[in-house]
A and B are shown apart, each in its own frame.
Chain A
Amino acid sequence: MQRVGVFVCWCGSNIAGTVDVQAVAEALKSEPGVVFSTDYQYMCSQAGQDMIKTAVKEHNLTGIVVCSCSPRMHEATFRKTAAAAGLNPYMVEIANIREQCSWVHKDMATGTEKAIILGKAAVAKVNLNAPLTPGESPVTKRALVIGGGIAGIQTALDIADAGFEVDIVEKNPTIGGKMAQLDKTFPTLDCAACILTPKMVDVAQNEKIRIFSYSEVTDVKGFVGNFDVTIKKNARYVKEEICTGCGACLEKCPMKKIPNEFNLGMDNRTAIYIPFAQAVPKVATIDPTACTMLKKGKCGICSKVCTAGAIDYTQKDEYIEEKYGAIVVATGFNPISMDKFDEFAYSQSKDVITSLEFERLTNAAGPSAGKLLRPSDGKHPHTIVFVQCVGSRCEACAEKGKEYCSKICCMYTAKHAMLTRDKYPDTEVYVFYIDVRTPGKNFDEFYRRAVEEFGVKYIKGMVGKVTPEGDKLKVQASDLIANKQLHIDADLVVLAAAIEPDKSARPLATMLTASMDTNDFFTEAHPKLRPVESPTAGVFLSGACQGPKDIPETVSQAGAAASKVIGLLAKDKLTGNPCVASSDELMCNGCSSCANVCPYGAITYAEKEFRMPDRTTKVRRVAEVNPAVCQGCGACTVACPSGAMDLKGFANLQIMAEVDAICK
């Protein structure tokens, strides 16, 4: 029999307000095994913990029940306390009488009654607890970064800087991501390429970093410290190590009318292409959907002009298996499709563009070489209307927009408006806003400069309708402050489209068993205190895959994720979770039911010799659980037909005892 001590916490008035804590302590005194029972204002405080330690010594306690807040909150705290008092930390059970009792019930009598029952269940469970010791597993000292935008680049550089090897997997032919497509960056207006491309070169030259471009992760197995990842290197039909990126093939390729993704389809590229001049790796890629050689077996011009002999039409997709200790997700974002927003005439007129398209239009390396010209007729626009919150904060139209604020649009729209007025002072610039949200260092000052110094006309209101008429766009909008409906003849309309997580994120999350919210953003382990970790151990989050973010924020989160990875990789061994499955050899009949349901492949079989009751020996096939691989889900315990498999810490008898205590 255990000697159990019960400690009931008041949590100030959080618990004591609706639960009579003294009555709970008193009622639990008479439970089997309980030798000591008390209550205290704050059990988690130093004084409360000391009280537990003293009680353990004075009453020779072998088990502890703390009736307090959720075990998700302070289970670890009280386990440490038990360990400090010389008890096995797993001899502690928590009865959750705050989140699941005092906070949900208003009536003292019901609250107290329920708290007593929850306490009884915890006592019943702790009576059956056994000391547990966690296993240890080694750490593979290499990290994987999925996504090669500014988030992935910064994370990889920081991890490599600490001396660990990093691999970046990027699905596009080059790293750089969205930032490479931008023109200037707020609030300082330095050019994106000028600050990004040196970092890309750093990545390429860093000996610790490998880039798998034009590649994707297809399978993830294992667990923190020991991930086995399969990376698919898509065939680019160019030998990466030989190609010098000279570009001779691009000039000669006859297929010149392929929409250029990098410029969002506003100009064309060839079938063999390098996305942009500063691409890393600077290696050509053949688009298999456009190349006549790959489609019809005729042409082969690029292979003739390639002096290095890098073209290989027979190249196949390659699968690489690699081990990693930590995985960082940096899959980033995309603007949402504007096709469903008929009122803005996006699909009717070429002169209605998204902000990212505007970014390419004003970029010196863009389709118009940096001159702001209308996509339809190449004329200089004299009246430009910017519309904010297109698809953002859109609750009613879930099938076209997003419920959340996309966060970055206010600032980049201010930037676009300001730069337009700066370069082309003859242009009228209107910005229609619902709210201007510019929290951030020097952000509001930036927006005010657009208004005060550059004369951008900010109008509180929304655009209701855009109608193409002749070479003009008729914009009908409301000015809520003047209480007028405005009709503007615009030359160009720029929509600040909402942003959404990249489509590749959802399947990736399933592979990683990392959780996501309803918008497909990755959820963090704790929204305030663990913002860069996923709830899945060993998986970290960097950049906009976790929520909309601008560049300064992305870079700081990337650095934070890197430091968490470094902290993990710096360890030689990880102590695991001792609550793992274990099989009773004597009862196991070797049927393989458990191995079939184990998601981690933690169960293997061994032939073992057993002494039989008639004193003969017999060789039997029995299950063995690898405690380093087992994550303790318990699927096998239910699948086992003979009841041989059990889960430490959540044993059949323990849960049964809890059921009994509740149903008594």
Chain B
Amino acid sequence: MHNNRYLRDEIIRISGVNTAKCMKCGKCSATCPAYDEMEYHPHQFVNMVESGDITPLLNSDSLYKCLSCFACIDRCPRGVEPAKVVEAVRLFAVRKQGANRMTANDVPAIVDEDTPQQLLVSAFRKYTK
């Protein structure tokens, strides 16, 4: 298992989440609507970040499968906020890649009339870092 202290601390810092509070109940994954799409599930994100096993997460598609619906944040009995951990890993990956992000000005050109508003909001959450 990788135990990359720097990566772990950085991701915890970005997320502002205390992963040690997790009691491993799995309610986040139980409530996740994108569960079947993901290779690593919300509870695994929390656990793997806690144990510093971050490289597989950075290389996984799961990062972009999270809908940012925040159901896990709402349901977590311990206030761990798994979606923020996922977000932090995503942010880390995006930042590492350099300036390949969207800005607010790029958006109108690609907006389709039929796009549901919720999708827009979650796309913003994901890609405008």
Whether A and B touch (Cβ < 8 Å) is answered with: yes
Chain A residues with a Cβ under 8 A of chain B: 343, 389, 393-397, 401, 434-435, 460-465, 476-480, 483, 485
**What's the Cα separation between A397 and B74 when bound, in Å?**
9
Q: Are A478 and B21 in contact (CB under 8 A)?
A: no
Check if B84 is an interface residue, CB within 8 A of chain A.
no
Check if B31 is an interface residue, CB within 8 A of chain A.
yes
**What's the Cα separation between A435 and B44 when bound, in Å?**
18
**What's the Cα separation between A229 and B44 when bound, in Å?**
58
Given that A343-B75, A480-B43 are known contacts, is A393 also in contact with B23, CB under 8 Å in the complex?
Answer: yes
Residue in contact with B30 in the complex, picked from A393, A483, A485, CB distance below 8 Å: A485
Q: Are A478 and B29 in contact (CB under 8 A)?
A: yes
**What's the Cα separation between A483 and B62 when bound, in Å?**
15
Residue in contact with A461 in the complex, picked from B30, B32, B44, B75, CB distance below 8 Å: B30
Best-buried of B30, B41, B75 by chain A (most CB within 10 Å) = B30
Q: Are A478 and B30 in contact (CB under 8 A)?
A: yes
Given that A463-B30, A465-B30, A478-B43 are known contacts, is A389 also in contact with B35, CB under 8 Å in the complex?
Answer: no
The residues of A that contact B78 with a CB separation of less than 8 Å are: 393-396
Digit string of B1-29 for contact with A (CB within 8 Å is 1, else 0)? 00000000000000000000101111111
Residue in contact with A483 in the complex, picked from B28, B41, B75, B76, CB distance below 8 Å: B41
The residues of A that contact B44 with a CB separation of less than 8 Å are: 483
The residues of A that contact B32 with a CB separation of less than 8 Å are: 464, 485
The residues of B that contact A343 with a CB separation of less than 8 Å are: 31, 75
Further pairs besides A463-B30, A479-B26, A480-B43: 12, Cβ < 8 Å: A343-B31, A343-B75, A396-B80, A434-B24, A461-B29, A461-B30, A464-B28, A464-B29, A465-B31, A476-B31, A478-B26, A478-B27
Q: Are B77 and A478 in contact (CB under 8 A)?
A: no
**What's the Cα separation between A397 and B79 when bound, in Å?**
8
Given that A478-B41, A478-B43 are known contacts, is A460 also in contact with B77, CB under 8 Å in the complex?
Answer: no
Given that A464-B30, A478-B30 are known contacts, is A485 also in contact with B35, CB under 8 Å in the complex?
Answer: yes
Closest to A388 in B: B25
Q: Are B30 and A460 in contact (CB under 8 A)?
A: no
**What's the Cα separation between A479 and B24 when bound, in Å?**
11
Q: Are A395 and B31 in contact (CB under 8 A)?
A: no
Q: Are A485 and B29 in contact (CB under 8 A)?
A: yes
**What's the Cα separation between A71 and B31 when bound, in Å?**
53
Q: Are A464 and B75 in contact (CB under 8 A)?
A: yes
Best-buried of A394, A395, A462, A477 by chain B (most CB within 10 Å) = A462
**What's the Cα separation between A389 and B44 when bound, in Å?**
21
Check if B36 is an interface residue, CB within 8 A of chain A.
yes
Q: Are B75 and A393 in contact (CB under 8 A)?
A: no
Digit string of B26-69 for contact with A (CB within 8 Å is 1, else 0)? 11111110011000010110000000000000000000000000
Closest to A485 in B: B35
The residues of B that contact A434 with a CB separation of less than 8 Å are: 23-26
Digit string of B72-113 for contact with A (CB within 8 Å is 1, else 0)? 000111111000000000000000000000000000000000
The residues of B that contact A396 with a CB separation of less than 8 Å are: 76-80
Residue in contact with B79 in the complex, picked from A395, A464, A477, A483, CB distance below 8 Å: A395
The residues of B that contact A394 with a CB separation of less than 8 Å are: 77-78
Q: Are B75 and A480 in contact (CB under 8 A)?
A: no
- List, sorted by A's number, 27 A–B pairs whose CB atoms are closer than 8 Å: A389-B25, A393-B23, A393-B77, A394-B77, A395-B21, A395-B78, A396-B80, A401-B77, A434-B25, A461-B26, A461-B30, A462-B26, A462-B27, A463-B27, A464-B71, A465-B30, A476-B30, A476-B31, A477-B30, A478-B27, A478-B35, A480-B26, A480-B43, A483-B41, A483-B44, A485-B35, A485-B36
Residue in contact with B77 in the complex, picked from A389, A465, A477, CB distance below 8 Å: A389
Min CB distance, B69 to chain A, in Å? 12
Closest to A459 in B: B26
**What's the Cα separation between A485 and B85 when bound, in Å?**
20
**What's the Cα separation between A460 and B25 when bound, in Å?**
8
**What's the Cα separation between A572 and B24 when bound, in Å?**
56
Min CB distance, A388 to chain B, in Å? 9
**What's the Cα separation between A485 and B38 when bound, in Å?**
11
The residues of A that contact B31 with a CB separation of less than 8 Å are: 343, 464-465, 476
The residues of B that contact A461 with a CB separation of less than 8 Å are: 25-26, 29-30
**What's the Cα separation between A575 and B92 when bound, in Å?**
70
**What's the Cα separation between A485 and B28 when bound, in Å?**
11
**What's the Cα separation between A199 and B22 when bound, in Å?**
44
The residues of A that contact B26 with a CB separation of less than 8 Å are: 434, 460-462, 478-480
**What's the Cα separation between A460 and B76 when bound, in Å?**
16
Shortest Cβ-Cβ A-B pairs, 9 listed? A464-B31, A396-B79, A464-B30, A462-B27, A478-B30, A478-B29, A434-B25, A478-B26, A485-B35
Residue in contact with A395 in the complex, picked from B24, B30, B36, B77, CB distance below 8 Å: B77
Min CB distance, B74 to chain A, in Å? 8
The residues of B that contact A397 with a CB separation of less than 8 Å are: 77, 79
Q: Are A480 and B21 in contact (CB under 8 A)?
A: no
**What's the Cα separation between A522 and B17 when bound, in Å?**
33
Closest to B42 in A: A478
**What's the Cα separation between A485 and B26 when bound, in Å?**
10
**What's the Cα separation between A460 and B71 when bound, in Å?**
20
The residues of A that contact B41 with a CB separation of less than 8 Å are: 478, 483, 485
The residues of A that contact B25 with a CB separation of less than 8 Å are: 389, 434, 461-462
**What's the Cα separation between A343 and B26 when bound, in Å?**
15
**What's the Cα separation between A463 and B28 when bound, in Å?**
9
**What's the Cα separation between A396 and B27 when bound, in Å?**
13
**What's the Cα separation between A376 and B46 when bound, in Å?**
39
